[in-house]
């Protein structure tokens, strides 16, 4: 649909629709790269602090308390951290601050769709660079395109492939001098972060989130880490009071109770190993080794598999026109149920 008031750019955009309108308590959700567990210690801490919260007041406008807690957690200073309503808001803020009309933004793809959407919203030009055939990062092409571009957006580990960039690869992109946005939404599942590169590069913004390994997607808290000068630029365009009191408190408790995240990552890695091994054994699918909490697998019948799984109350991620599907690593029981259902479907194909 189109209204007469739309900016022209809207005709190039679609609403974000990773969610499918299927729900129900018995649905096994393996489509959105969420954590299957809730951090009960965080819920308890929130319950205790709610009555004394000043919900009639605006939060402190610079969000300094939570920024400082995050900074301590990752070993940086408050001035290097900016917090957003999910890392989605951080991506939007990067667009607002740094993308002018016709600025070129290098985006290796397939990857998270929001990067090109935000680029288009700010009238920038997404330069989409296909991943190599084996889904490895197309480093040489990224570097050669970077010469004429302003920004590169790198997702590591990449959604939906699960493949991470090495520090050497990242350095070679950073050395071009382009502004590099490194989205580390899934880095905890890889056990490695590019945060240390910030000590040597001031053209880098690293994005992180509490939505994935910390299991707090519902509370929408993300952040980025960068040089003071880039954080200042972003602060100028970020909406005031962007984060609510509860989301900030929740992030604080999540750091306090980070043992939950550490244990969850450990369990997800075990389940990922099981899931990858089981997929590898099946005829008719080809899984890609992943450093994240999801696995991409190639198949000749993605639509049939997706729909048949859904009939069995298992929701995974379908990509229109692609020869692969993405499955989130859930609990062990969910992974077993997924594999046995997939076996059944493949046998009938
Ligand atoms: N980056 C990537 C690569 C993602 O996959 C997602 C969520 N699907 C996000 C960022 C957004 O996360 P958040 O919940 O922090 O907004």
Indicate the DSSP class of residue 241.
Answer: T
> 183: Cβ below 6 Å to ligand 1?
yes
Radius of gyration in angstroms for the set of CA atoms belonging to the chain, rounded to a whole number? 20
Ligand 1: distance of its center to the CA of 345 in Å?
A: 30
**Which pLDDT value is given to residue 333?**
98
Q: Does domain 17-38+260-348 have CATH number 3.90.1150.10?
A: yes
Ligand 1: distance of its center to the CA of 111 in Å?
A: 11
**Which pLDDT value is given to residue 349?**
81
Domain ranges of the chain: 17-38+260-348, 53-256
Query: Please, what's the b/e burial string for 314-341 (b: 16 or more CB within 10 A of its CB; e: otherwise)?
Result: bbbbbeeeeebbbbbbbeeebbebbbeb
Ligand 1: distance of its center to the CA of 50 in Å?
A: 27
What are the residues whose beta carbons fall under 8 Å from the beta carbon of 114, sequence distance 6 or more? 16, 88, 91
Rounded CA-CA distance 290/330 in Å is: 14
Rounded CA-CA distance 173/179 in Å is: 9
Q: Is 267 helix (H, G, I), strand (E, B) or coil?
A: helix
Question: Which residue CA neighbors atom 1 of ligand 1 most closely?
Answer: 185
Rounded CA-CA distance 315/25 in Å is: 12
> 211: Cβ below 6 Å to ligand 1?
yes
Ligand 1: distance of its center to the CA of 86 in Å?
A: 7
Ligand 1 atom with the smallest distance to the CA of 210 is 15
**Which pLDDT value is given to residue 20?**
56
Rounded CA-CA distance 347/322 in Å is: 22
Ligand 1 atom with the smallest distance to the CA of 89 is 16
Residue by residue, pLDDT tens for the chain (349 residues) are: 889 999 998 988 888 764 555 677 789 999 999 999 999 999 999 999 999 999 999 999 999 999 999 999 999 999 999 999 999 999 999 999 999 999 999 999 999 999 999 999 999 999 999 999 999 999 999 999 999 999 999 999 999 999 999 999 999 999 999 999 999 999 999 999 999 999 999 999 999 999 999 999 999 999 999 999 999 999 999 999 999 999 999 999 999 999 999 999 999 999 999 999 999 999 999 999 999 999 999 999 999 999 999 999 999 999 999 999 999 999 999 999 999 999 999 999 8
Tokens of 224: 């980025």
Angle between helices 64-74 and 245-256 (to 10 degrees): 20
Q: Are strands 28-30 and 81-84 parallel, antiparallel or unpaired?
A: unpaired
Q: Where are the alpha helices (DSSP H) in the chain?
A: 40-49, 64-74, 86-98, 114-121, 139-146, 167-174, 228-237, 245-256, 259-281, 302-311, 332-348
**Which pLDDT value is given to residue 25?**
79
Ligand 1: distance of its center to the CA of 77 in Å?
A: 24
Tokens of 299: 């198949």
> 87: Cβ below 6 Å to ligand 1?
yes
pTM as predicted: 0.96
Rounded CA-CA distance 27/30 in Å is: 9
Rounded CA-CA distance 243/59 in Å is: 8
Nearest one of 207, 196, 220 to 151, comparing CA atoms: 207
Rounded CA-CA distance 233/98 in Å is: 8
Residues 295, 275: contact at Cβ < 8 Å? Answer: yes
Question: Which residue CA neighbors atom 16 of ligand 1 most closely?
Answer: 86
Q: Is 116 helix (H, G, I), strand (E, B) or coil?
A: helix
Chain position carrying tokens 């091994």:
277
Q: Class of 53-256 per CATH?
A: alpha beta
Ligand 1: distance of its center to the CA of 116 in Å?
A: 14
């Amino acid at each position: 649909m189109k209204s007469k008031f739309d900016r022209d750019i809207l005709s190039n955009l679609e609403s974000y629709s990773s969610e499918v309108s299927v729900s129900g308590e018995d649905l096994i959700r393996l489509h959105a790269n969420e954590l299957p567990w809730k951090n009960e210690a965080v819920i308890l801490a929130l319950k205790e602090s709610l009555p004394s919260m000043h919900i009639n007041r605006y939060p402190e406008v610079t969000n300094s308390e939570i920024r400082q807690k995050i900074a301590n957690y990752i070993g940086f200073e408050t001035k290097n951290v900016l917090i957003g309503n999910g890392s989605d808001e951080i991506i939007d803020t990067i667009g607002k601050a740094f993308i002018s009309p016709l600025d070129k933004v290098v985006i290796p793809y397939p990857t998270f769709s929001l990067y090109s959407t935000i680029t288009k919203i700010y009238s920038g030009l997404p330069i989409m660079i296909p991943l190599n055939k084996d889904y490895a990062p197309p480093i040489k092409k990224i570097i050669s395109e970077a010469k004429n571009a302003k920004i590169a957006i790198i997702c590591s580990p990449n959604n939906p492939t699960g493949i991470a960039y090495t520090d050497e690869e990242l350095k070679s992109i950073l050395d071009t001098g382009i502004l590099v946005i490194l989205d580390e939404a899934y880095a905890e599942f890889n056990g490695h972060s590019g945060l240390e590169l910030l000590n040597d590069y001031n053209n880098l913004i690293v994005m992180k989130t509490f939505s994935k390994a910390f299991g707090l997607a519902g509370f929408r808290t993300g952040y980025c880490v960068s040089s003071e000068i880039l954080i200042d630029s972003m602060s100028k365009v970020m909406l005031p009071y962007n984060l609510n009191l509860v989301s900030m408190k929740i992030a604080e408790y999540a750091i306090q109770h980070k043992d939950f995240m550490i244990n969850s990552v450990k369990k997800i890695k075990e389940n990922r190993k099981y899931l990858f091994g089981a997929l590898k054994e099946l005829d008719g699918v080809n899984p890609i080794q992943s450093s994240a909490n999801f696995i991409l697998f190639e198949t000749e019948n993605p639509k049939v598999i997706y729909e048949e799984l859904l009939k069995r109350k298992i929701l995974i991620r379908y990509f229109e026109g692609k020869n692969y599907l993405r499955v989130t690593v859930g609990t062990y029981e969910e992974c077993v149920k997924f594999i046995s259902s997939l076996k059944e479907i493949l046998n009938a194909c």
